[in-house]
């Protein structure tokens, strides 16, 4: 079974390269971690389910810094999620996360976004517009149906089945009309063989368009760009939180960091002493 898992690592790396567009350096890191760990994990066949225990491997990592351990465990978790999606019955033990300070995905510049839109196909343009104009998650985009889109609003089904309404820009509405007519969408906005496209299929299309301009971007980065752009332009954090579909305002506060420029502008506009100075000047 250990040799079988090592063979599946090659399939996983191929998937990361072709579908997720990972860099050669990242692929080298993933390969090194997985082959290293597979030498030490315990493998137990419980009926049809293969249980892999990471504890012996984690014991060897105990003297490394927390971030390195976290990264290695995350790589293993991602590998086994890939195996499960591919129909392999398996269970990972000892993969409990290490608490780390929350980090934010780096927003992409509007220049890079416009460059990507310039070289994108119609389908790719729609995907980019939906992520940036609506700030939705990739799971929400996959489940988006044609009937969810009206003249002024998009009904988005978020976590826990909660529905939220997000305003739709006229430019995006026209683009969606063109796309639906051309593709003949029946139920879902993005369909393949009569079913909604999977997250991997969307990721592949998303990654391919940014690959054309020589950069790697994730869908979540566009969601983050949506949020930070609104906040930096003066949108209320409560409104942004609702648009993102966050259950707690604290999630939005961690997720979005205002730039120093935006903080200063908001302070000067809100504080009475600043307003007095502006008026006297």
pLDDT digits (tens, 9 = 90+) for 6-59: 999 999 999 999 888 888 889 999 999 999 999 999 998 888 888 999 999 999
Are 129 and 209 in a shared domain? yes
SS (H, E, C) 73-135: HHHHHHHHHHHHHCCCCEEEECCCCCCCCCCCCCCCCHHHHHHHHHHCCHHHHHHHHHHHHHC
Positions in the chain short of pLDDT 50 = 281
Are 135 and 182 in a shared domain? yes
Q: Which residues are catalytic?
A: 137, 159, 220, 223, 246, 255
Are 201 and 86 in a shared domain? no
Prediction pTM value = 0.63
Domain count within the chain: 2
pLDDT digits (tens, 9 = 90+) for 58-70: 999 988 888 888 8
Q: What is the CATH number of the domain that holds 245?
A: 1.10.443.10
Tell which of 28, 61, 93 closes a domain.
93
Are 144 and 246 in a shared domain? yes
Q: Which domain holds residue 142?
A: 110-261
The neighbouring-strand residues paired with 93 are 53
Tell which of 64, 93, 122 closes a domain.
93
Are 89 and 121 in a shared domain? no
pLDDT number for residue 18: 87
pLDDT number for residue 29: 93
Residue 272 lies in a domain: no
| Rounded-to-integer distance, Cα 219 and Cα 83, Å | 22
Are 150 and 248 in a shared domain? yes
């Amino acid at each position: 079974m250990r040799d079988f898992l090592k063979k599946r690592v090659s399939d996983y790396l191929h998937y990361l390269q072709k579908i997720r567009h990972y860099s050669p350096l990242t692929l080298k890191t993933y390969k090194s971690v997985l082959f290293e760990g597979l030498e030490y994990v315990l493998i137990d066949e419980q009926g049809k389910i293969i249980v892999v225990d990471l504890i012996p491997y984690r014991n060897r990592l105990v003297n490394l810094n927390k971030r390195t351990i976290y990264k290695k465990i995350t790589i293993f978790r991602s590998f086994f999620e890939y195996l499960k999606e591919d129909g392999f019955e398996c269970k990972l033990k000892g993969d409990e996360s290490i608490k780390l300070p929350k980090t934010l995905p780096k927003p992409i510049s509007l220049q890079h976004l416009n460059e990507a839109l310039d070289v994108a196909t119609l389908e790719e343009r729609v995907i980019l517009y939906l992520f940036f104009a609506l700030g939705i998650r990739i799971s929400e985009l996959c489940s988006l149906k044609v009937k969810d889109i009206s003249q002024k609003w998009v009904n988005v089904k978020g976590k826990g089945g909660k529905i939220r309404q997000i305003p739709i820009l006229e430019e995006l509405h026209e683009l969606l009309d063109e796309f639906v007519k051309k593709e003949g969408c029946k139920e879902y906005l993005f369909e393949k063989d009569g079913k909604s496209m999977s997250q991997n299929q969307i990721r592949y299309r998303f990654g391919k368009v940014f690959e054309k301009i020589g950069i790697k971007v994730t869908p979540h980065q566009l969601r983050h760009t949506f949020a930070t752009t609104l906040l930096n332009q003066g949108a209320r954090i409560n409104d942004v939180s609702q648009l993102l579909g966050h259950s707690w305002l604290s999630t939005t506060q961690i997720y979005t960091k205002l730039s120093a420029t935006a903080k200063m502008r908001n302070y000067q506009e809100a504080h009475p002493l600043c307003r007095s100075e502006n008026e006297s000047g």
